[in-house]
Structure 1
């Protein structure tokens, strides 16, 4: 279509309504239809964009609608608002980019575009704004991302996954991206430590769980650590061998689906845990383990070629061997009743998603919060419970639900309840019960098993006994086999999640 243009008017403005007030966002209701040609229209449905095009019914390729395959029996298509990445009007053409599902585990960028006939541009702009409002809701648009790619992650495939599956989604959503590749262990700590807190909204890690661990600890080294940990959301775009963070927050181990989840993610406060050993202090975001879980992970590094099966193999070998890890354990107990824990989880799950992050931004002079309970070398606080565990088989504390796709160890975990979920299992239980406990993790019945002691704690100290060597795992990273202490800092960190306050895991069953 051609139209006259000149300095005296907008070719998209109808002269008959030139003096009418432009429509506002609130004037564009659900069901509003935008004509985009004589035989096509775009309609804001209840939860999807409805595309009607008579050309879909023809056998020829739909030249006006790239990315939507024609079907001679249908003239409409629907695109979920969640999959809409961006929309814009340029000159006389409207373009809508979206994530098109090509398989259960993959989405690819596609687009629809139409040449507009002469129409009211103010209405089109307002309609596009309403579409983006429905597509993003409370999520921030055009996020500014510092993107770290670990070229050694995922057996060296992280760079390829980023280019093929992740970058196109972020670009189509008009995110601002600054990419940097990590060069050695600890490099992400340095990058995060030196990052301008105000220059970005998100630090996205194309890696496994190791790089997010480094990023949290790098932010913790900044002079404005509290402010940086609140302002900057840390996310995992799964490209490593262990992607628990993505499974918990994005609900997927697919790089492209995770990229879409991050684009649409809601700011979510996250509890972080201070781990102290002597005068050393590190932050944990995922889990801490001593005993069978730590040894099954860190003690099977030579079996990495088995993938996630190596963990199951190591776990089973030690279960059947009735391996024990004697220790003294002291906890600041909050709740140890499974029914009460489940009820608290249910109440939180029934709350509506938050519309904004209500936390105040800390001062630029605020560093990490002070340790409330000191360190593992200080006298034990009077209100802690000290219990010797001479036959301890597994000590596992989690801040997230999933430890791997099939391992929902901490089904009652919440992102910011001020607690760690603590699991303890004796090492000398019958072999049949040990195998049943392993199978229960995959089936979702682990929480309800009588032999599983499940509690919510805000701090603990563990002192290994009668064992000179062993494994302590913090977020999957090995630390010295020495006594250590942990305490929760409620809502100190920030991530992006689909709901803004829950993990993507099935809750506890009884």
Structure 2
């Protein structure tokens, strides 16, 4: 399934790392207000398109029979530039604007308004439309070429329906070029990414939970041109699964239609990816690695999926009450070793302006650029110089996160940054009094977790963990279970690419 682009579209095969969106130089004399019809005008405001139509009140529902929302004056409506999907002119002098109309806090739907110029001037209309698109898209690439992967088993089997009802209309209205494919088996995302013609696409958008993005990045990592694929192709999530952390962190929502709008308007953003080595295997991780109570809570409650997100709370409380410990020896490469330093690093990045372009070097097509070698070796190599294995006999939780949100109500790593070359690490003893343990769980949702004195929070670039005194247990990488064996992890700054709202921060409350 594909949607083409019009003759006036920006070349969809341009390198998405190149800055600039404007196909033609707009006229310098373009006015902010365009007179349309006898009693109407369209004005480019500061943050929104202002529609003034004296007939709106008599029409009742709004312009062209559709409510535009916003504003107290019934003859004036505003459409935020962020919600403008596309604009164009017709041969008869008509100006047509497609936008995402908010029908609730969680749902937007495609709407159209159209007007004919009071005085036909095709050049003026085209220049005005171009200026509108400049305000609507800013530094974001227009008409993105998107490979859409639908996991038909996601969202309790409703992912395909969710895509066609909530997502596809938004992407199509924005004149995105779409190639849609459904995954059929476990690991299919790896195969698709490994064999994808990356010169034909700018984005891989996963209508799924977090599992398909994990597969896509690992598929890219297996390619001979892995580094080009990982930089060139942004991986996005359109939330259709039970775990939607990638979407939550970069768009601030788990609404399919709002996420589709965020992909349309998303800015290319570098994302550090982590290599996880275990045995003779090397995986790429974008989300988290955990051993201890979080891993067991996630993986040992699969049979309770019918409970929804409540299964995590239930599983967590059961293990807290038992005061379960998970002994391990741990070695860490620390970058910011205390909360004061972690907070300073976060605030320094947060003070920067939004990103306007991708400044990384993109390897040339055909250039051999496999995934980079490991700086610290694998779990099978001797311990790197300067590392020391420290016994953690009372360990309750070892949780390394690459994103902030782990779920919609769990901003577990509020100091996390997309591309600071660090993982955020949390360690908590398993011997806490039960009342303090329960208070710790509640503190996550209350955004007080970071400041708890018994929460050890650091920024690290690599680590090795060796479970001990247990024959069986749970280790989770991006929510997927791996063998209960020693493993080693290191982060690669700027290896992957996502789409985000501001280009350098997660959509989570920071520290």
Q: With structure 2 as the length reference, what TM-score do the two structures score?
A: 0.93
C-alpha spacing 1:69/1:437, structure 2 compared with 1 (3 Å): closer
Matches within 5 A, 1:166-315: 166-315=167-316
Structure 1 equivalent of residue 439 of structure 2: 436
Conservation of the 8 A alpha-carbon contact between 1:203 and 1:233: yes
Measured in 2, the distance between the counterparts of 1:188 and 1:134 equals 35
Q: 8 Å contact 2:70–2:77 — kept in the other structure?
A: no
How many pairs align? 485
Aligned partner of 2:478 in structure 1 is 475
Equivalent position of 1:82 in the other structure: 82
User: What displacement does 1:343 show?
Assistant: 1.4
Aligned residue for 2:391? 388
Separation of aligned partners in 1, 2:386 and 2:438: 36
> Take 2:432 and 2:62, find their aligned partners in 1: how far apart are those partners?
65
Distance in 2, Cα, partners of 1:39 & 1:477 = 60
Give the Å deviation of 1:70: 12
d(CA) in 2 for partners of 1:359, 1:487:
20
Whole-Å Cα distance in 1 between the matches of residues 438 and 491 of structure 2? 32
Spell out, residue by residue over 1:315-361, the C-alpha distance to the aligned partner (whole angstroms, 9 max, x if none): 11111110000000001111111011111111111111111000010
Q: Distance in 2 between matches of 1:206 and 1:358?
A: 28
Partner in structure 2 of residue 495 of structure 1:
498
Displacement of 1:59:
4.8
Q: Cα distance, 1:65 vs. partner?
A: 5.7
- Whole-Å separation in 2 of the counterparts to 1:70 and 1:304: 40
Q: Which has the larger radius of gyration?
A: 1
- Secondary structure of the residue aligned to 2:426 is strand
The answer (yes or no) to whether the contact 1:65–1:112 under 8 Å persists in 2 is: no
Runs of 5+ unmatched residues, structure 1: 1-22
Question: Aligned partners of 1:166, 1:123: CA distance in 2, in Å?
Answer: 33
Shift of the 41–324 alpha-carbon distance from structure 1 to 2, 3 Å rule, reads same
Q: What SS does structure 1 have at the residue aligned with 2:354?
A: coil
Q: Structure 1 residues 28 and 220, CA, compared in 2 at 3 Å: closer, same or farther?
A: farther
Q: Following the alignment from structure 1 to structure 2, what is the Cα–Cα distance between the partners of residues 202 and 372?
A: 29
In the TM superposition, residue 206 of structure 1 has moved relative to its aligned partner by: 0.2
User: Which residue of structure 1 aligns with residue 46 of structure 2?
Assistant: 46
Contact 1:271 1:492 in 2 (8 A): yes
CA distance, structure 2, for counterparts of residue 461 and residue 61 of structure 1: 62
Cα deviation for residue 362 of structure 1 reads 2.0
What's the CA shift string for 1:100-132, capped at 9, x where partnerless? 000110000011011234422111111100100
Distance 2:411 2:63 in 1: 47
C-alpha deviation, 1:60, in angstroms = 5.7
Measured in 1, the distance between the counterparts of 2:175 and 2:477 equals: 36
| Cα distance in 1 between the residues matched to 2:207 and 2:74 | 39
- For residues 211-254 of structure 1, the C-alpha deviation after alignment (integer angstroms, 9 at most, x for no partner) is 00000000111110000000000000000000011110010010
Q: Which moved more, 1:228-237 or 1:356-365?
A: 356-365
- RMSD of aligned residue pairs (Cα, Å): 1.6
Unaligned runs of 5+ in 2: 1-23
Using the size of structure 1 for normalisation, the TM-score is 0.93
Alignment of 1:448-463 (within 5 A): 448-463=451-466
> How far has the Cα of 1:62 moved from its partner?
5.5
Post-superposition Cα deviations, 1:390-434, rounded to whole Å, max 9, x if no partner, equal 010000000000000010110000000000000000001111110
Q: Structure 1's 332 and 310: CA in aligned 2 closer, same or farther, altered over 3 A?
A: same
Aligned to 1:402: 405
Aligned equivalents of 1:464 and 1:260: distance in 2? 43
User: How much does 1:28 deviate?
Assistant: 5.5
Contact 1:109-1:169 at 8 Å conserved across structures = yes
Going from structure 1 to structure 2, the CA distance change for 1:471 and 1:129 (only over 3 Å counts) comes to same
Relative to structure 1, is the Cα distance of residues 48 and 309 closer, same or farther in structure 2, using a 3 angstrom cutoff?
Answer: same
Partner of 2:3: none
Aligned equivalents of 2:25, 2:191: Cα separation in 1: 46
Range moving further from structure 2, 204-213 or 311-320 = 311-320
Distance 2:51 2:118 in 1: 17
